[in-house]
Chain A
Amino acid sequence: MAERTAPIRVLIAKPGLDGHDRGAKVLARGLRDEGFEVIYTGIRRTTEAIIAAAIEEDVDVVGCSILSGAHATLLPKVVAGLRDAGAADVLVVAGGIIPEEDRAGLEAAGIAAIFGPGSTIAEIATYLRAHVRTN
């Protein structure tokens, strides 16, 4: 497969009842400056809406920012929904406040990476470039 030339497309989503979107916006802007095409969908989206948007936008990555504590329920639903829609090749990553003890469970559910507070944009960009599908 030839080396990827098109920009990587990332959906930044805020699932559930959580209006704290500062981090999501900083990340959206930062990834744009790193050369990504970032689709920002706004706050309080259902997992169904996030999955549908990811399919329509044909994104390579879905990044969920979540500070509400509902990560253990919502994030696996996003992974499963993408798989059911035939889009298991979309990378799902998470950011926000996610306790250490929940990480293993989320990773087992198919969340590729979790970026907690203190993660840098450059670190996230590097990870995504290395792990997205290649087309």
Chain B
Amino acid sequence: MSEPTDQQGAGLRTTRELAQAISSVERGGPAADALIQTALTRLASERSQNAVVIGVTGPPGAGKSTLVGALAERARTAGRRVAILAVDPSSVQSGGALLGDRVRVEERPGDEGRFVRSIATRGSGRSLSYTAAAASLLVEAAGFDLVFIETVGAGQADLGIVRLADLVLLVEGPEGGDEVQAMKAGLLESAHLVVVNKSDRPGADRAVERLRSGLALGHDAPEVLLASAVDGSGVAELLAALEGLAVTRSGGGLQRRIAAHLAAAVEARAAQLLRDAESDGRLAALAQSIAAGERPLSGAVDELLKG
């Protein structure tokens, strides 16, 4: 049995090296930092063009995984090197996770131009793991030029993916898009493109209308398309629309990913500090001192962030 080392995956040349590198950034620490540095050096010296990173979000059951699988197949056929990072939630109780997105993606063993990785949210408790930006940098450095990041999709605000992706695609089902939801904005506000999936089912046309009329009340309304991942209709048009938007938003993608990685690392550190303060009783003690008027809230916050 080979003894794993801190240098695992540092080459980023093979699928296995890339896969091990992602595990390493998930573990964190100095080895993770070194890998990100390697990836950035590689991207600076070898890549003339940034990858396009597309965030895919939307309510559970809208068909995000199947649609991403269909888009990936199509893009791969067109010669793109495609990676899918599929995020699923970790259990708050056990820390475990059931990562099921691969079920909906066609396996293509032997195709080095395709990479699929399931990522658990682990400590983040959000729609993305803290390490999604780092994983994206690694797959970009490994030569994938189109990256889909599929979020957990629960909840309306999905700031992490907005920070990280060049484009955000919101996937809705045929029952989606009720007008009040659309007006409340949330996810819709940050989407660059909206697609109503499952156009093979009744009600999809009306969902498009609902979403369009809701969005029309705001400014810079994203386009609303119709597609079916199952029968394939609209998938080519959707991919073309995404690639068109990517061209108009090109540039700065790499900086965006680095900033997202930094932001996630800060959030992870702050969450860790809070957990530590909770478990060793400092949080409760500080709360008490606020209650007793001994300390203002902002002072307690500073105290906690010092660690």
Contacts and interface: CB of A to CB of B under 8 A. Distances in A.
Contact of A56 (B1, B95, B116): B116
A82 to B, nearest CB: 10
Interface size on B, as a range, is 35 or more
B94 A33 contact: yes
Interface string B106-119: 01111000011110
A32 B97 CA distance: 5
B26 interface: yes
Interface string B96-110: 111110110001111
B19 A35 contact: no
Contacts of A35: 91, 94-96
Interface in B215-258: none
Given A49-B107, A58-B22, A85-B16, A38 B98 contact: yes
Main secondary structure of the interface of B (DSSP, over half): mixed
Interface string B13-26: 00110011011001
A115 interface: no
A107 interface: no
24 contacts: A1-B3, A5-B27, A7-B120, A9-B23, A33-B96, A34-B94, A34-B96, A35-B95, A38-B97, A38-B99, A39-B99, A40-B102, A41-B103, A49-B107, A52-B15, A53-B102, A53-B116, A56-B19, A56-B116, A57-B19, A85-B16, A86-B16, A89-B2, A133-B4
Interface of B: 1-4, 8, 15-16, 19-20, 22-23, 26-27, 90-91, 93-100, 102-103, 107-110, 115-118, 120, 122
Interface of A: 1, 5-7, 9, 28-29, 31-42, 45-46, 48-49, 51-53, 55-58, 85-89, 133-135
